[in-house]
Amino acid sequence: MNNEQFDFISNNDAVLKQVVVTSEAVTIEIETWDNIICEISCAGIYAFKSSTGIGQDIGDIKLNRDSDFFIETTTRQFDNPDNIPPSVKSLIICEASDNTPVFEVIAEKLEINKVG
């Protein structure tokens, strides 16, 4: 998965509709301005943090490995940045108005699906 896969959601007047957290996965549901429902499934979770609520307008969605949260979490988990598997990534959802991160999850498997 790469950043281009989120282009149809990013800056598309999307709204965070639902976040479901289980012991094995985090599922994020997003609705675009044209009523397309997208689910982002995150499995092999190491950590997540949220500073938003349901109904939040969102802007960019990006993948990276250099956020402060990613570095802090993976350093605790793997002791050394060189030990972090390449499959582990940070999915960051940003607020629409000022592009500040509002939700971040660190996981090994990320998948996006249009469900409606």
* Residues with Cβ within 8 Å of residue 83, at least 6 apart in sequence: none
Q: What is the pLDDT of residue 11?
A: 62
Alpha-carbon gap, residue 20 to 18, rounded angstroms = 7
pLDDT in tens, 3-43: 666 766 766 688 999 999 998 899 999 998 888 899 999 99
- Tell me which long-range contacts 5-12 makes (C-beta under 8 A, separation of at least 24): 5/112, 6/60, 6/61, 6/62, 6/63, 6/112, 8/32, 8/36, 8/38, 9/38, 9/58, 9/61, 10/59, 10/60, 10/61, 10/62, 11/59, 11/60, 11/96
Q: Is pLDDT of 53 > 80?
A: no
Alpha-carbon gap, residue 43 to 68, rounded angstroms = 21
pLDDT in tens, 70-102: 999 999 999 988 899 999 999 999 888 888 888
Q: Is pLDDT of 45 > 70?
A: yes
Pairing of strands 25-31, 14-21: antiparallel
What residue segments make up the domains of the chain, in order of their start?
3-114
Q: Is pLDDT of 46 > 90?
A: yes
